[in-house]
Amino acid sequence: MRFHFLVIAAFLSTAVHAAADSPAPQAVVFVGGASRDDATATAGEFAAAFEQLAGGGILVLRGPVRINGNFSVPAHDAPVTVTSVHAGRDYRSENGAKLILGSAFELNGPVTFASVVITPGDKAGRIYCNGRKVVFGADISCEPPPGGRFPAIVAAAREADGPAGSDVTIASGQWDTVAGGASHDAAPTSGMLRMTINGGRFYGAVCAVGTGRHTGGAELTLNGGLFHGGVAGLGVHAGASVRGDIRVTVNGGTYYNTIAASRHAGAEFAGSYTLALNGGVFTSVTSVTGARGLRGGAASALVAAPALLDAENTGELTFTNPLIPGADPWVCFHDGFYYSTATGGTQLNGRKVANLPDLPYAEPVVIWRPPPGRDYSRNLWSPKFYQFTEAEVGAENAGWYLYLSANDGSGRPSQGQRMFVLRSLSGGPLGPYGAATGDREPNGATRVSAAAKDSSFNKVWCGGAKVLRHGGKLYCIWVSEVGDAFSKKTGDRYQIICIDRMVNPWTVEGRPAIINRPTLAWEKHGAGPGKAGMYPEVVEGGTPVHAADGSLYLLYAGSGYWTPYYAIGVMKLTGDDPMNPAHWQKATQPIFKASDEVVGTGNACYVPSPTGKLNWAIYHAYVGKKTRGVPRQLFAEPYVATHERVTIGRGSPLPLGTPLKIEANPMPLRKKISDFTDAPLPPGASATTATASTPTNRASTLMSP
């Protein structure tokens, strides 16, 4: 075997007469060749280097070190520092030095990482600290593999005979989940779990304990960093448990998503949970929850100054498009938060965020997963949720509903699409959802039908339901189709936008009016014969938008979504009856269409900013010129609706990378708190018993990745 390492037992010459009390020189081992052409090292060389450093020292990565599969570092008791910078040379820039992890990378002694690149070699990689004292120091950079995730850190021992407790410090790097304890597939752990975070960026949850089973205490101290995945005592697994006390102290940093005693409602917690908030930015937090309701009966307390809890967020957030992958977006603003969903294959996911720029960091939750073999099991298109009030539909039917179209998946994705409606079983927009009628079967669905039994609505292709509230009445707007894939001539197959009055959330009257069909050249791109038969002329996604003065517009998409010409058009209600086609006036040109960088812009929804200062259009589009074999993604741009017109941005997507600003959600932290057995100090109370200092809760200006 050819080894690329060199041991320098003492790199200070004995000719130099050091003082007797000077520290002994450290041993240094180089791993990897001296030049870029001969730099790559193997796991065997890496292990041999640790064996050379049994008495401690510095391990210098002089090139890429590739670890394939699972790897366990040789045991050692003396501290070892792993770095790529030594004696004034940075081997990251010289030779591309990095540590390329396999599946599981186990440490078995005290280690400090500094000035090093760490990347998983495959989809994911985990660093197991095995209860040792491990420091992820300054100047660490982590890289995810293509289509993969950043590395994760698990602090406690994996095996039953491993050391008790854990002691991990993190100052830099980009990470997925981080756990002070163990994962659910490990042996139970014991002792004190200690983790301190001074910096870094965390895309998964940071948990004091993790998803394992722990007996003992846990202390998580957060002094700085960006916590996109939220913070918790216990991780997201029903089998997670702790018998002991958890204390989470937040002194600084920027936080997203949830700060929770447990990320899973089924976890067990016997002990106490204390959350001390002394500082930080919480603009993007959606909830702060204690331990009430968890198995084990843990007590929970929030310690914070009233000034921190009651401060309204100020400032702006900055983001760039695109936001997240997805098609047929739907976003609504409810009770101070944004809720989103989008088209799915066999399930629908939802997100909850405080600010639109937070969408990239929101963890999707499954809101509906239909069972197989139903006529609504596959191709779950264009989902939209709406809340109906008691005044609109009666006390028994009031609540959140979700509309979508679907089929059984036996043919083409578009074949046999029909409209269905679901009802939230939790009373909230993120469900979970079930059938809207009968026994409200979980994950079931109710077919939207017409009260008039002879109505063609009950027989035809339809989808994309939207609800219009106008003049004290409820209307349903959807897209249907004339002709089919076997139509002979271009133009014989086309879509129509229909409207009908609603009887209840799952029934329309059955006498719909056609208020739009393709009549303009810009609406007809993509129509004609193709591999799947005759492609239709398309108008779809009709979404009502009201101007401040009450003017009503219907914004819709025209041309095939599979073409770069998919664009947004507009119709205005010029009369008083939305079911009278003559009362709608259609603009002759699209108001929003492709740019040189972004094409296929359409099927938007429209929401206010958190304070109502601006309004935003959320649309899907393709990055680049291609529309086949590439994913659609969600974009946001401001729109303006007046009595005269509707405009979206400048009429086409802004150049990629253009910063957009939106005001921060002003909601104070106190309104996000729940489930603590010991309530926080009330507004205006003395903070002498709290450890929190007076904060400034000004939103940081962050760029989306």
Q: Residue 704 and residue 359: Cα distance in Å, rounded? A: 9
Both 472 and 370 in one domain: the answer is yes
Q: Angle at Cα 309 formed by Cα 307 and Cα 310, nearest 5°?
A: 65
Query: Which CATH number is 445's domain given?
Result: 2.115.10.20
Q: What angle do CA 60, 66, 68 make, to 5 degrees?
A: 140
Strand pairing category for 348-353 and 365-368 = antiparallel
What is the per-residue pLDDT for 8?
42
638-660 pLDDT tens trace: 999 999 999 999 999 999 999 99
Instruction: Give me the mean pLDDT over the 213-227 stretch.
Output: 98
Supply the pLDDT for residue 38. Answer: 67
Q: Is residue 542 part of a domain?
A: yes
- Check: CB of residue 605 under 8 Å from CB of residue 616: no
Same domain, 270 and 377: no
Assess whether pLDDT exceeds 80 at residue 23. Answer: no
Domain assignment of residue 150, yes or no = no
Residue 689 has pLDDT above 50, yes or no: no
At 683 the pLDDT is 83
Quick one: pLDDT band at residue 454, thresholds 50, 70, 90? confident
Residue 17 clears pLDDT 60, i.e. is over it: no
Distance between start and end Cα atoms, the chain: 43
User: Residue 621 is encoded by which pair of tokens?
Assistant: 């589009």
Confidence at residue 36, expressed as pLDDT on a 0 to 100 scale: 66
Same domain, 442 and 465: yes
Average pLDDT in the 236-249 region?
A: 95
User: Quick check: 206 and 221 in contact, CB under 8 A?
Assistant: no
Inform me whether the pLDDT recorded for 20 exceeds 60: no
Asked if the structure places residue 62 within a domain, the reply is yes
104 and 174 within one domain: no
pLDDT at 341 over 80: yes
Looking at residue 161, its pLDDT comes to 84
pLDDT of residue 692: 40
Number of domains the chain is built from: 3
Final residue of a structural domain among 103, 122, 141: 122
**Looking at the domain assignment, is residue 148 inside a domain?**
no
182 and 38 together in one domain: no
Name the more confident of 184 and 389: 389
What's residue 303's pLDDT? 97
Domain boundary among 76, 92, 122: 122
pLDDT at res. 12: 31
Please report whether residue 307 resides in a domain.
Answer: yes
Pick from 41-45, 440-444, 673-677: least confident: 41-45
The whole-angstrom separation of Cα 345 and Cα 462 is 18
- 412 lies in the same domain as 326: yes
* Residue 149 is assigned to a structural domain of this protein: no
Q: Tell whether the model's pLDDT for residue 696 goes beyond 70.
A: no
Q: What is the DSSP string of 599-612?
A: EEEEEEEEEE-TTS
Whether omega before 322 lies within 30 degrees of 0, making that bond cis, reads yes
Based on the fold, state whether residues 566 and 684 are members of the same structural domain.
no
Whether residue 590 has pLDDT greater than 80: yes
Q: Is the Cα torsion angle 392, 395, 400, 403 positive or negative in sign?
A: negative
For 80-105, what is the mean pLDDT? 95
Per the structure, the complete domain to which residue 430 belongs is given by 317-663
Given pLDDT bands bounded at 50, 70 and 90, which one contains residue 162?
Answer: confident
With cut-offs at 50, 70 and 90, classify the pLDDT of residue 15.
very low
pLDDT tens-digit map of 133-144 = 999 999 999 999
Residue 699 has what pLDDT? 54
Question: Helix (H, G, I), strand (E, B), or coil: what is residue 224?
Answer: coil
229 and 182 in a common domain: yes
The mean per-residue pLDDT over the stretch 178-204 comes to 95
Both 421 and 485 in one domain: the answer is yes
Q: Angle at the Cα of 472 (from 466 to 477), degrees rounded to 5?
A: 20
Q: Are residues 202 and 114 in the same domain?
A: no
pLDDT digits over 259-313, tens only?
A: 999 999 999 999 999 999 999 999 999 999 999 999 999 999 999 999 999 999 9
Q: Which of 553, 502, 548, 557 is nearest to 526 (CA)?
A: 557
Q: Tell me the pLDDT of the chain averaged across its residues.
A: 93
Share of the chain above pLDDT 70, in %: 93
Same domain, 170 and 59: no
Report if residue 137 sits inside a domain.
no
Residue 75 has pLDDT above 70, yes or no: yes
In this structure, the answer to whether residues 620 and 688 fall within a common structural domain is no
Of 28-42, 56-70, 283-297, where does mean pLDDT reach its minimum?
28-42
pLDDT value, residue 40 = 83
For residue 96, being part of any structural domain is answered with yes
697 pLDDT tier (thresholds 50, 70, 90): low
